[in-house]
Structure 1
């Protein structure tokens, strides 16, 4: 278990609690700290730094360079051979990749065919650690993933699932947010994952943001700051896992996806200080171990045109010096288009290190990136002292996390710790407090479905069937008919015919825009005699494009827990309790607020 006192003392925790609105309880504890608290923290820091110094003394320069990289491999085990690995690394499996490259970390993705279920993840992480133990310096890996919950969930059921940040923002509870992070972190740690790339600390002030959206807690900097700090405390203090606040300096006001293009944030310095910076300040005050950079251009902070990940003015000038962060700085994925547009893949790695970054995540061309760093050292462009600064931070974090002493997990105990009934019940209660009733005219909701024919249509084959199953369990004769997010006229006609044969129709929307065919689907269904229920299962902003429908529910997520809570709200089993964590503006007049922050109906 990581030594929590190493990162922050009890007194500091109390100051954080008051600063971000987490309440007076922690403050009262801090007024009379244990006499040995400061000594314990100092001793822990000394031990961590001594471990780093002694380890680095016996490392080769190549081994130090390896510690700066976070790689991945295709395949469910450390020895699974895959031609894609060979193409990328020149080695067929994770074990041999680790042997050759000696990376400091490894990241897991379901989309990369290396995540299927918790037991498999635990076996894989143990296999990765075995390979690291046999390689060069024998330093354990930091195994990481992006289990943000909601839209970005790498490990599904039987792990405990939550509806994500914006849903938690709708719940507005620091206690619930901390609990969700604690459960998520405890389960990841049981699977051998020591670092979660969460929470997302972006303030989503742009409804058209294609990459953040519901991954953000809110459009309100104060609420985002409070919940970011609570999540950090849940991950680190309660679960003992490394948290990573992202995406610095703030990715919340863009209409460009940095996976495919280079976003430009036009906030002034004052706007950045008021909107984007506070959640990262709160995360730092809460003792966050790691912060991830964003591949975005912010001219007010650096007018060079370079993305923040490659900007010394932003990484060192703002994050290190102005905000005082001395933890580990990790890049967002270096395979993303936004960071690759201006420089080659090798040059990107060097420039990120020059900017002040410590960990290089997912280089697009690993061999080229490693070679570029070695060449920069040989030429004097990078110094070994600069490399040592980052390696020390990485090794201190590994020691503090406890991975250096206990890198592997007991696979036989994974299912005793992941998806526990108590965790599932907690997730259900937390999710039930997030579903938001935005509009309810003419007593449209709740509606009895017992013995009624119910059609679930609109977005999602799995989503629609899951909700239909939830309504069937509550006495309905429910069927699902998916039309997707771009229904053809034939699909709309089919849905209308099915609705006319039903007593109740639930239409699910996802990402409705001014030109979306989902508008035509909702309008056609609204013109029938069916009792229509309209639900936005991702962005709450959908309502601004749907006209005067009688009702609209926002779930912020199409994960199973959110759909279960939705079924309860539709049928009146529970009263909706969520409040909008964002302003919803008119689709016709972007200056007009239709439903303000904090709006939410109930019965």
Structure 2
């Protein structure tokens, strides 16, 4: 059975001081009569005092302007192998030539790295340190897709571990945990602090063109155990993990990079086939969950992909599964996200649906301006914006870089990357 939580736990409460109407609505008594209006008296029960972590997040949030808060939601691809690399691609896309200038211009909260950013370990360390220096008020979330196996953006530098399907074949959750921990240690040594892994989809369709062996198993319960183990392994390496692709991309025959898949599972089938690995990831303390650009008519009949669906991201992931962490979109430059709306509207609708991190917008200037305009017009409330920024700041606090950017070391990276212990683990895992 899926967890149900009370109304006070649906969303992380924004940690800003709001005047007046910030509380939840009064619940109706069991007798069915409406409760009388609440009165403010000196004997009113005070709200719980914020924890030290919440207070620290609140202090950082309070320093940010609206423009800076909007920038915190975005994680684009940047071009260059150093923070100061001049690139025509950056100029064409962002009207700023270097990664450092793009970060400053849009107040970016994150950057995702791809093989074009990678030449050597010392170079990547220099890149990530330089990117962090370019971020004025808040350390960057620097992410990559290092699932191992088929999707391994840092494979030129890192230990070659087998992918999830091969590890799933072993039925050894301890091995899944060890490989995730080792992967996280190597990423952390390079200055990466978030991995878009593990895949929490269940490989229920052998014709699936995009998931397949990227998933741990075709059995939901076995996949769930592996996903939970991997999340714990990443946590032990002190790197943020991301379960993907919610609500479940395992039963598609269309690639969401090039089209818009439709999954015809009933809600009961979703609960049995797709939900268990995501539940397990949440129970294991996963930092983020990535949405899928898939239409799931029995979960939301609107025809919008899950990335833009409030019933799916807020109704299911937040309210039913009780997830309080960061919701990331899948890449917003994929066809599955852009079929119905333009690049600005896609970003706005993703935030309204419940997303916190807008990954790889197809047109960052247009998306940034659209979200900022939606906040200023009230279409996206300041409270809603603060909720997302609060979650992103809380992730940083949890992983130890809220107020001080992590500094990677080339010497440390040399010791960790492809270490003897990691190569032995890879051999044990079949890599």
Equivalent residue in structure 1 for 2:392, among 388, 391, 394: 394
Q: How does 1:456-467 map to 2 (within 5 A)?
A: none
Contact 2:121/2:410 (8 A) holds in 1: no
Q: In the TM superposition, what whole-angstrom CA distance separates every residue of 1:524-543 from its partner, at most 9, and x where no partner exists?
A: xxxxxxxxxxxxxxxxxxxx
For the residue of structure 2 that corresponds to 1:354, the secondary structure is helix
Say whether residues 1:415 and 2:420 are aligned partners: no
User: Does the aligned pair in 2 maintain the 1:233–1:286 contact within 8 Å?
Assistant: yes
Give the Cα–Cα distance (whole angstroms) in 2 for the partners of residues 263 and 117 of structure 1.
Answer: 37
- Distance of 1:47 and 1:248 partners within structure 2: 32
> In structure 1, how many angstroms separate the alpha carbons of the residues matched to 2:398 and 2:285?
12
Distance 1:89 1:375, change over 3 A: same
Q: How does 1:186-201 map to 2 (within 5 A)?
A: 186-201=185-200
Aligned-partner Cα distance in 2 for 1:422–1:335 = 38
- SS at structure 2 position matched to 1:329: strand
4+ aligned runs moved over 3 Å, structure 1: none
- Out of 358, 364, 379, the residue aligned to residue 362 of structure 2 is 364
Deviation (angstroms), 1:84: 1.0
Aligned partners of 1:188 and 1:168: how far apart in 2? 19
Shift of residue 185 of structure 1? 0.3
| Structure 1 position 158, deviation (Å) | 4.1
* Partner-residue secondary structure (3-state), 1:251: coil
Partner of 2:291: 293
Unaligned runs of 5+ in 2: 1-47
From 117, 122, 127, the counterpart of 1:124: 127
- The Cα offsets for residues 555-582 of structure 1, whole Å up to 9 and x where unpaired, read as xxxxxx3xxxxxxxxxxxxxxxxxxxxx
Name the residue aligned to 1:274: 272
Question: What is the CA–CA distance in structure 1 between the aligned matches of 2:240 and 2:338, rounded to whole Å?
Answer: 28
- 1:78 maps to 83
Alpha-carbon offset, residue 345 of structure 1? 0.2
Which of 254, 258, 282 is 1:256 aligned to? 254
Shift of 1:232: 0.2
Q: Is the 8 A contact 1:141 1:407 kept in 2?
A: no
| C-alpha contact (below 8 Å) 2:258/2:334 kept by paired residues | yes
- Cα displacement string for residues 29-69 of structure 1 (whole angstroms, at most 9, x for unaligned residues): xxxxxxxxxxxxx99x8232112111111211001111111
Shift of 1:304: 0.3
Using CA pairs under 8 Å that are at least 6 residues apart, name the structure with larger relative contact order, 1 or 2: 2
Q: Who is 1:102 aligned against?
A: 107
| SS of structure 2 residue aligned to 1:412 | helix
2:401 is the alignment partner of 1:403: yes
Q: Residues of 2 paired with 1:160 and 1:49: CA distance?
A: 37
> Is contact 1:118–1:159 with CA below 8 Å preserved after alignment?
no
Query: Structure 1, residues 420-453: CA drift from partner, whole Å, max 9, x if none?
Result: 111101110111xxxxxxxxxxxxxxxxxxxxxx
Cα deviation code 1:337-356 (max 9, x no counterpart): 10001000000000000001
Which residue number in structure 2 is paired with residue 284 of structure 1? 282
Alpha-carbon distance between aligned partners in 2 of 1:148 and 1:281, rounded to the nearest angstrom: 19
C-alpha distance in 2, partners of 1:330/1:300? 22
SS in 1 for 2:281: helix
Using the alignment, how far apart are the partners of 2:208 and 2:62 within structure 1? 46
User: Are the aligned partners of 2:132 and 2:405 in contact in 1 as well (CA < 8 Å)?
Assistant: no
Secondary structure in structure 1 of the residue aligned to 2:418 = coil
Q: Distance in 2 between matches of 1:209 and 1:329?
A: 24
Alignment of 1:184-263 (within 5 A): 184-236=183-235, 238-263=236-261
Normalising to structure 2: TM-score of the pair? 0.87
For the pair shown, the structure with the greater C-alpha radius of gyration is: 1
How much has 1:406 moved relative to structure 2? 4.2
Measure how far apart 1:400 and its partner are.
1.3
Separation (CA, whole Å) in 2 of partners of 1:253 and 1:307: 15
Measure, in 2, the Cα distance between the counterparts of 1:319 and 1:191: 32
Aligned to 2:7: none
1:114 equivalent in structure 2: 117
Number of residues of Structure 1 aligned to a counterpart in Structure 2: 383
Retained in 1: the 8 A contact 2:198–2:241?
A: yes
> Is there any run of 5+ residues in structure 1 with no aligned partner, and where?
1-41, 432-560, 562-603
Query: Secondary structure of 2:393's partner?
Result: helix
Residue in 1 that maps onto 2:6: none
Of 382, 385, 410, the match for 2:383: 385
- Give the Cα separation in 1 of the matches to 2:184 and 2:353: 30
TM-score, length of structure 1 as denominator length: 0.63
Shift of 1:417: 1.3
Equivalent position SS for 2:60: helix
Deviation at 1:163, TM superposition (A): 1.4
1:165 counterpart residue number: 164
CA contact (8 A) 2:249 2:292 kept: yes
CA contact (8 A) 1:350 1:376 kept: yes
Superposed counterparts of 1:49-64, under 5 Å: 49-64=54-69
Q: d(CA) in 1 for partners of 2:273 and 2:120?
A: 38
Match of 1:176 in 2: 175
> What is the CA distance between 1:229 and its match in structure 2?
0.2
